Amino acid sequence: MTVPTAARTGSAPVAKPVISSEADILDLAPVIPVVVVDSVEQAVPLARALLRGGIPVIELTLRSAAGLGAIEAVASEVEGMVVGAGTVVTPEQVRQVQDAGAQFIVTPGSPPRLLEAALASGLPLLAGAGTLTEMLTLAEAGLEAMKFFPAEASGGRPYLSAVSGPCPQLRFCPTGGITRETAADWLALPNVGCVGGSWLTPKDAVVGGDWARIEQLAAEAATLRA
């Protein structure tokens, strides 16, 4: 992962990471915020609050009608923030998020047409896998970093720890059911590079514009390391 000259968000200089692979995504921060916004206007101040707290990456999901516009707004207005598109579930959405300026793609699963489109986009991909067969399928496609989803429901830490035996080369971003209290335990696993979590951006804080609270939660998350 290379870091070019400093960009600027507000008054603080921020080095803008450049990612070229899935592995780079896992190294950006201990926690990737998984974010749903109800309006595009929420996205930019939210992303800036995360950045001030020391989290330079965001996964803006397509779970709301504002998702695509939010990706475009953050990608164009928040220097220093690496913008990913989450909950991408169709080949058409792959094209849409790429056009909106997403720097990486996150999928909850990896059916053949979706996987083919995501790989063809050239963007780094965190494809979702919940079983060893799905993980090996993604490895056959050339991916050695992926999303473990839904993490708690798919066997939790014991399952992912067991995976490291036959597949020591694979690294993961577990997402789904991970909390502020359990994140450090997940990060202690040798095959976990980062975790995905929604607790950094509580809905009431986003709706109320409590960016100071989000900045504080990001600062706490930025200190999490195995």
* Domains of the chain, first to last: 19-219 (3.20.20.70)
Give the pLDDT score at 20.
87
pLDDT at 165: 96
* Residues in CB range of 92: below 8 A, 6 or more apart: none
pLDDT at 16: 57
Active site positions, annotated? 59, 147
The model's pTM is: 0.91
Task: Look at the chain and count its residues.
Answer: 226
Confidence (pLDDT) at 131: 97
Distance CA 52, CA 12 (A): 8
d(Cα 65, Cα 30) in Å, to the nearest integer? 28
Task: Give me the residues of the chain with pLDDT under 50, please.
Answer: 1-13, 226
- Would the CA dihedral through 197, 171, 119, 133 be positive or negative? negative
CB 58, CB 223: distance < 8 Å: no
CB-based contact 72:100 (threshold 8 Å): yes
CB neighbour class for 31 (10 Å; exposed up to 12, middle 13-18, buried from 19): buried
Q: How many CB atoms lie within 10 A of CB 44?
A: 17
Q: At what angle do helices 40-52 and 211-222 cross, to 10 degrees?
A: 40
> What is the rounded CA–CA span in Å between residue 61 and residue 149?
15
Cβ atoms within 10 Å, residue 132: 15
